[in-house]
Amino acid sequence: MKRAILVGIGVLAFAAGVYAQAPAGNFDAALAAAPANMKDGAMVIKWKADGSYDTLRPGTNRLMCYDQAGDAGEAPISSQCTSVGNLERVKQNKIYEAKIADRAAREAALAELEKNGQRVKPEFGSVFYTRSGKDASTVRTHITIAVPGATAASLGLPDNNKMGGAWIMGAGTLGAHIMTPGS
């Protein structure tokens, strides 16, 4: 009997310790873009203007998600998820978004980084899940797949949307990605 009580107390103490270490918070906004089967294990981060971030919840899979509503140039509802392998790429993007408000000027600066070999390469085959809109009635999900350096010839996909199916945007660049129709 004493042994059963001690085991029970041990289990309760362990459970209390695990519960005490679980990060508190509501991450619904950050996880809104995550696929349902990956949400529970996704890492949740909060970006800072200097490109650093706070980990709000560690993950158990390779997906990281963040709420970007309120960030420069983002819609009032905006979240994105991608592979943890893209942390440095997203960090570089966030730094330039904070530094250069004008989209064309920012894209030119990032293109110059690529030309000089300083642009961070995304993880080939990684997915970017983005959910954004000005309000609940206009929210849409957009899914792209990073294929840095890919071209129409190397992947066998068109480099424009005229065929109506998946296509490569930015073919031949580090930012090349497969656009998925309907998203």
Query: Taking the model in full, what pTM does it have?
Result: 0.83
* E strand or H helix at 142: strand 140-146
Pull the structure tokens for residue 113: 């980084």
**Whole-number average pLDDT of the chain:** 88
Task: Check residue 7 and give its pLDDT.
Answer: 38
pLDDT of the residue at 71: 85
149 has a pLDDT exceeding 80:
yes
pLDDT tens, residue by residue, 11-40: 334 334 444 344 556 899 999 999 999 999
Does residue 40 contact residue 29 with C-beta atoms inside 8 Å? Answer: no
> Could you say which DSSP state residue 129 is in?
E
Q: What integer is the mean pLDDT of 131-149?
A: 96
DSSP of 157-170: --SSSTTSS-EEES
Q: How far apart are CA 83 and CA 126, in angstroms?
A: 6
